[in-house]
Chain A
Amino acid sequence: MMITPTSNLLAQYLKNNPAAAPVAAKPETQNNSAAVVQYLDNQAAINMPAVSRPDFNYKNDLKSLFASNSAKILAIIPRTFNAQDKDGNGYICKGETYGTFLNAIGRLDEVKNDGFNTLHLLPIHPPGKQKAMGTAGSLYAPADFLTIDPVLIDKNDPRSPNEQFKAFIDECHKRGIKVMLDLPSCASFDMFTREPDLMAKEADGLAKTPQGWNDIRMFQPWQDECKRTLNPALLELHKKYVDWCVELGVDGIRADVARAKPPEFWDVIIPYSRKLDPEFGWLGETYTYEDASPQANMPYDRPVDTWRCGFDMIYGQYHIFHEWKTATEFTDYVKDQLANSYDVPKGKSLLGSFATHDDVSPMFHGGVDYCNLTMGLQATLPMLNPYIVDGYQTGDDYLYPYEHIHNPVTDTDNNEMTVHRGKLDIFNFSRKPGGKNPEIGDFMKNCFAFKDKYADIVNKGTFITLDKRGDKNDQVITYVRHYKGKTLLVVANKNVNKPVSCKIMVPGLKPDEKLQNLLPSYGAESRFQAADGELRAELGAARVHVFEINTPKIEQDTRTIFRQSF
């Protein structure tokens, strides 16, 4: 149903869904938490969405998806998602087609077929034009938080920007795909000059800029940091943002650089969003505990605090998987996160952040085989929702031929086509992501199908690392997932260059165990031989294998098992 300025939608809605009577306020002596609840209730009542509900039966369950480790997320940049680069120069110029919401619908079937159930839309707001990076402006330097970049709007369609966005969201929902919108952490210089009350300043009055990012300015989350009172203007902006998201049907928010705002801030906004939509999902970009932040003007990173203040999922450290020298470093990290799950409210999880838009393409770390290795791990690790950046499916190396060239045509005050080499371009109108290795996408689909098939074991099972013999350099990752008598054995070679042989101690394994790899084969060949209580393996470089084995008592036979807190 088309929304027009003259539609008395609110009247209709309120008639059908009368607003709950506001709860009577109580005097100041009342417990503060209750007063907050009342306040939020009032605000939620006032701000109930007034847009039309879709005519298909859709219910948001993104929060539950995250909690049950069932989300399979694809990150896209709408302005490039279905862009058409006709002349092959790598970017979209006059006469070519930018990515829009409406033409993005054309790829949703592909997304669905690939197995994804969630889309992470990188920011969709108009970028700032002053002191900008690139010729389009950075996605993370918005000029306005509550409007949509005109580039994403099909000018030939009569619908308003919100309506076009809504239409895209509805199409996603029809296919069972959730939509999670990226909330930038900072503002552009344009916004800084326009909204001084929102912005952080140094002692000398100059704007606070996160080190290394000259096109953005920090928000000021505090009114008084000493007293830990929040900036009401910034809170108000974010509340409006949430209202807008819920109104349009967005299922969740990915908070860019979650640590840019304190836990108290999120502890206001996230519960507020849940008042509007109890299943509104929150993903926080936070990585690992920092004693202090190495980046000037950016607060330190504290993942546990991020979970505690309401985020359902955080990034974690998988993006440095290629830097971990040994398998033990990797499995120790997994165990630490499982242990952390007991220190935070139940239902928290991690993103399969082996490669995000802030990382170089995984093709640089070992090509197709490395991509498949990490995909296999994403499909079998506990407390993890797989995450893919658009272009991964075909092995895009994100190398753009226009890197740092001077372009006389620009939408910003910068003519240089800034690019972070090897990373997805967020500064220019670049081509649709894609590479030349569709087999990566095929493997990925199989992994998603596997994960769905073995959802109980993978999403709820225990995690048990296995002892090895003969793996001198500790390159073999091996663990077991077990749930209600069913066991999946995962064996992977972390080394992308060399094969590795070792013996893996698998309590209860029988010599006659049939070892059938549940994931497709790729790369160099591996060989296995089951023996009594052990598996002899010769693994090809960067290979990952998953076997279902008959070891119902493996938890009893093992020294230590780890389990996520549900």
Chain B
Amino acid sequence: MQTNLLQNYIAKSTTYQEQQKRPEARAVDHNALYNRTFAKPLPPKGKLLRGTFLPTAFVKNMKYNAKALVDGAKGKANDHQLGKVNDVGLVAGMGALAAYLFTMNRTPMKKGMEILGPAAFLASMAIWPKIAIRLPALFVHGVDPMQKYQDSQGRVKPFFQDPQFIPWDLYSDKIMDKAGDRLGVPKDMPNRRAYTQEKMRKVAVQSNTLWMLTAGPATPLLTAMICNMAEKPLGKFFDKQTNKKADELLETVNFNDTAKALRSTKTVDKVNEIIGSYIDKTKGGYIEEAIDERTVDRFSKLFSEGKLSTILGGKFKEDLMKDMAGKPMDEAAANKLRNIADTMTDFDSKYGVLDQYYKLKLGKVEESVIANQCNRTSEAVLDSLGFTKDDYKDLFTLKTGVIRREKIVDREAVGKKLYDKFETIVKDEEKYKKAMTAITDSLKEVETKYAGNTNYEKYVKDICEQAGKSLREQGLDNAAEEIGAGANSLKSMMIDNARNRVDSLKNHCCRLIQTLDFFKRADDKTKNMPEDIVKMGKEILAKGHIDGQMTKFEGTMKKPFDFMKYQQLMRSIYGVGDVDPKSADVSTIKLLDGASLKETFKRYQKEMILKFGGAEYGPHKQHIYLEQLKEKVPSLKKFLQNGIAVDEYITTAVKNKRNSQIWLKTFGGLGIALMAVAVVAQFFFGKVKKPAASQEVKQ
């Protein structure tokens, strides 16, 4: 009431009335209050950070994270630091687990994958939101839902992390204006900034929610795909490393150093211990006790411990029984035994090095150099033969198993497809060249990579002969023989094993070359090869197993067995003598020449004739051969010479390839679908109801 009185009085007062009459006074610009010259808020202390699409945040913040870890351990960490401790803990935990599994695995590839797995997982966690959430949001709305900022205390935080704590003043009016334009906010909307902010917030919240929903399936998918993509290059890398490691082992310094490291005094100590049991400890000197069989047995087991026990154990016992059993232990005998122990210790350590080399390079183990070579060859050959996705599908038939129905590779179908492929390839020079090149490259690689085997053979010869000589000097002739001399000695066995492994792979490649070449020659009508020879030749080469070779393909040949036909067949395939214009196609010769493999192939052809020819080598006579062999070829050699049947080889390769394709199709498809959902969802984000028109709320 008082206010009204005052107002009334003011209205009536002369001063006020005078003022009201003055148009200038009333012309005071009341809007002056609403202009922008008053105290404005200071700029914020924080700042927006530019984002990248590289997962570098962790690396960049390592210093802060390290401090957070220390403060956390002391109990002084704040909430933000505790969050970082959690991140560090996650990575450290995964690293620890990977390190543990790393030590549990034996092969380099498996070890590498143990590390790659968690790294891929962490990378997927970082990459997925960037490519599937952030990029589409930026593209569709111009909003970065993963925008980061540095607060007034220097801490880096996601801008939209807490929808209730968003430092909007880090976005200037100019930027918000542009954001509003991008989001389609009408320019004349009152409180445009608030509306734009709300839209941005909504896009961010919805995008982050989408991230949470999709991260679960996406991260393992992406992890698996990264690992799958990385497997090949990683395998290549480790293969190179393994090969290098193996070759380095045979360098003199490394060989000696490694042998030194492997050297153990166990044998010498134990020998001395046994000898010690024959010494009178009170008086000194040896006791008058004969060396019994049991003691001899102990000594022989000591001298041939580990892998050598099956080869040498019996021989040592034989020699020692002859030389020492029943005789008393004396200084001479003790020294002899010690010398033998020294010799075998030295031999063991060097043998250990060569064993390591063999395992790395030639062993029948996963990820040996030669095993990797085989895998690469099969993949290269399959690709060069032009197998398509549809081809793979056709080669699988449904089989009703005991437990479930499954699709398996049909070898018959593979053989038929192979024929078709060969026949297609040989008609096209380019395709033929491509297929041949894939095989010759592999063969060339084998030749180059295993050149070092001569070094291996040299070391085998040296250490075995040296050990043999030393043992002979001690009177252990049988053992010496078993180690260093003769066709069945350890020396021969080691050398043969190594050569067989390499030759087997070489022969396999040569068989592939031979098969393709034969198909090409058969296709050349000018060569006038008889039809039946062509048919039989193709079948023997593409499908011929060692069993067939041993019976000279009696099943394939017409009955009764036609020797002349067999000769003609073998000549058509492998030729006669060293130089035979019919033994290979011109283009094949040219390609082999270019790869410096002509001699290798010729040698193969000659070996095929020699090892499978003659009456001595099979149930039937009259196989063409060039010269008498000095001795019979063992079955193993024949097996290795023959190589694996091409259709069988391709069947295995097809199975692996198809599995890989199915995997990629399934998981890749899922990944793409998920990505599509994430991108399409963006078009539905950011819908905000426009502000209601001002309403009468007075009651």
Contact = CB atoms under 8 A, between A and B. Distances in A.
Interface of A: 3, 5, 8, 10-11, 14, 18-19, 21-22, 24-28, 32-33, 35-36, 38-39, 42, 46, 50, 146, 160, 162, 192-194, 196, 201, 203-205, 211, 222-230, 232, 235, 240, 262-264, 266-268, 289, 291-296, 300, 302, 304-305, 308-310, 325
A291 B13 contact: no
A205 B694 CA distance: 8
A203 B689 contact: yes
B35 A32 contact: yes
B689 to A, nearest CB: 6
Given A223-B34, A235-B33, A294-B165, A305 B25 contact: no
A211 B42 CA distance: 25
A203 B691 contact: yes
Contact of B34 (A10, A24, A46, A229): A229
Contacts of B694: 196
Given A203-B195, A226-B192, A193 B697 contact: yes
A162 B39 contact: no
A204 B39 contact: no
Given A18-B15, A300-B169, A39 B33 contact: yes
B560 interface: no
Given A10-B13, A19-B15, A32-B35, A225 B165 contact: no
Nearest to A163: B2
Contact of B38 (A18, A38, A264, A294): A264
A46 B698 contact: no
Contacts of A240: 3
Interface in B1-57: 1-3, 5-6, 9-10, 13, 15-16, 18-19, 22, 24-30, 32-42, 44-46
B669 interface: no
A5 to B, nearest CB: 6
Contacts of B277: none
B26 A25 contact: yes
A28 B30 CA distance: 10
Size band of the B side of the interface?
35 or more
A245 to B, nearest CB: 13
B167 interface: yes
Contact of A32 (B18, B32, B167): B32
Given A196-B695, A223-B34, A35 B167 contact: no
B336 to A, nearest CB: 73
Nearest to B151: A291
Nearest to B14: A14
Contacts of A228: 36, 40
A246 B166 CA distance: 39
Contacts of A291: 44-46, 149, 151-152, 165, 167
A300 B167 contact: yes
A125 to B, nearest CB: 15
Contacts of B191: 222, 224-226
Contacts of B25: 22, 24-25, 42
Given A194-B699, A204-B689, A294-B164, A264 B26 contact: no
B190, B192, B690 — most chain A CB neighbours (10 Å): B190
Contacts of B13: 10, 14, 19
A266 B41 CA distance: 11
Contacts of A263: 38-41
B32 A302 contact: no
B194 interface: yes
A305 B39 contact: yes
Nearest to A11: B9
Contacts of A230: 33-34
A289 B151 CA distance: 11
B24 A5 contact: no
A10, A232, A295, A310 — most chain B CB neighbours (10 Å): A10
Interface in B183-226: 190-195, 198
A295 B162 CA distance: 11
A521 B164 CA distance: 48
A50 B689 CA distance: 50
Given A264-B39, A264-B40, A305-B39, A22 B22 contact: yes
A408 to B, nearest CB: 28
B398 interface: no
A205 B44 CA distance: 30
Nearest to B170: A291
Nearest to A308: B39
A310 B1 CA distance: 32
A309 B41 CA distance: 9
Contacts of B9: 8, 10-11, 50
Nearest to B196: A226
Contacts of A203: 195, 198, 688-692
A42 B28 contact: yes
A264 B38 CA distance: 5
B24 A25 contact: yes
A263 B87 CA distance: 40
8 contacts: A5-B5, A35-B32, A36-B33, A42-B25, A196-B694, A293-B165, A294-B165, A325-B76
A226 B33 CA distance: 16
B165 A14 contact: no
A223 B194 CA distance: 12
B695 to A, nearest CB: 6
A262 B41 contact: yes
B692 A304 contact: no
Chain A to chain B: the 3 pairs with minimum beta-carbon distance, closest first: A35-B32, A267-B39, A229-B34
A230 B689 CA distance: 24
B168 interface: yes
Given A36-B33, A42-B28, A263-B41, A225 B194 contact: yes
A264 B40 CA distance: 6
Contact of A21 (B15, B167, B697): B15
A35 B2 contact: no
A13 B319 CA distance: 139
Nearest to A30: B29
B29, B76, B190, B696 — most chain A CB neighbours (10 Å): B29
A5 B15 contact: no
Given A5-B1, A35-B29, A39-B33, 7 more contacts: A18-B15, A38-B28, A194-B699, A203-B688, A211-B164, A226-B193, A228-B36
A128 to B, nearest CB: 14
B193 A225 contact: yes
Nearest to A18: B15
B693 to A, nearest CB: 9
A225 B41 CA distance: 13
A193 B696 CA distance: 10
Nearest to B1: A5
A39 B698 CA distance: 31
Nearest to B9: A10
B36 A268 contact: no
A486 B525 CA distance: 121
B151 A304 contact: no
Nearest to A8: B9
Contact of B2 (A19, A24, A162, A232): A162
A302 B26 CA distance: 37
A28 B32 CA distance: 9
Interface in B589-622: none
B10 A46 contact: yes
Contacts of A262: 41
B624 to A, nearest CB: 92
A344 to B, nearest CB: 10
Contacts of B194: 225-226
Contacts of A18: 15
Contacts of B24: 24-26
Given A21-B15, A24-B25, A294-B164, A50 B6 contact: yes
Contacts of B19: 21-22, 42
Contacts of B46: 291
A24 B1 CA distance: 31
A89 B690 CA distance: 52
A3, A14, A325 — most chain B CB neighbours (10 Å): A14
